[in-house]
Amino acid sequence: MFLKLNKRLNILYRVIICTLCIGSVESKDGMVLVKATDYRFHLEYRWVEGLTLDSLVQDYAGIRYSNTSNFKTSGFYIDKTEVTNAQFKEFMDESGYKPKWSKNFLKHWENGTYPSGKANHPVFWVSIEDAKAYAEWAGKRLPTEEEWQLAAQGTDGRAWPWGNLYDPKKANMDSKGTRPVGSYPNGASPYGALDMTGNVWEWTDSKQLDGNHYYCWIRGGSHYFAKGSRWYIQGGPVPNYQRLKFWLMTPALNRSPSIGFRCVKDAT
pLDDT, one tens digit per residue, over 248-258 is 988 888 999 99
The two beta strands, 214-219 and 201-203, are: antiparallel
Which of 9, 8, 23 has its CA nearest to residue 192? 23
Report which of 186, 172, 164 is spatially closest to residue 222, judged by C-alpha positions: 172
Q: Which of 221, 257, 217, 265 is nearest to 121 (CA)?
A: 257
Residue (of 258, 213, 256) closest to 103 by Cα position:
256
Number of helical H runs and strand E runs in the chain: 5, 12
Q: 29-82+120-266 maps to which CATH number? A: 3.90.1580.10
What are the C-alpha distances in Å from 131 to residues 109, 126, 186, 254, 259? Answer: 16, 7, 27, 12, 10
Sequential pLDDT tens for the chain (268 residues): 433 444 444 434 333 334 334 444 566 789 999 999 999 988 876 655 665 656 666 666 666 677 788 999 999 999 999 999 999 999 999 999 999 999 999 999 999 999 999 999 999 999 999 999 999 999 999 999 999 999 999 999 999 999 999 999 999 999 999 999 999 999 999 999 999 999 999 999 999 887 888 999 999 999 987 777 665 667 788 899 988 889 898 888 899 999 999 999 999 7
What pLDDT digit, counting tens, does each position of 2-33 carry?
Answer: 334 444 444 343 333 343 344 445 667 899 99
DSSP string, 144-176: PHHHHHHHHHTTTT-SBTTBSS--GGGS--SSS
Residues 57, 66: Cα–Cα separation, whole Å: 7
Residue type, 198: G
Residue ranges per structural domain of the chain: 29-82+120-266
- Angstrom distance (rounded) from CA 124 to CA 111: 16
In DSSP terms, 260 is beta-bridged to: 202
Round to the nearest angstrom and report the end-to-end CA distance of the chain: 48
Q: Alpha-carbon distance 84 to 71, whole Å?
A: 29
Rounded CA-CA distance 180/195 in Å is: 10
Rounded CA separation 7/264 (Å): 37
Contact 205, 142 (CB under 8 A): yes
Nearest alpha-carbon partner for 234 in 198, 208, 190? 198
Report CA Rg, the chain: 19
- Give the pairing type, strands 259-260 and 264-266: unpaired
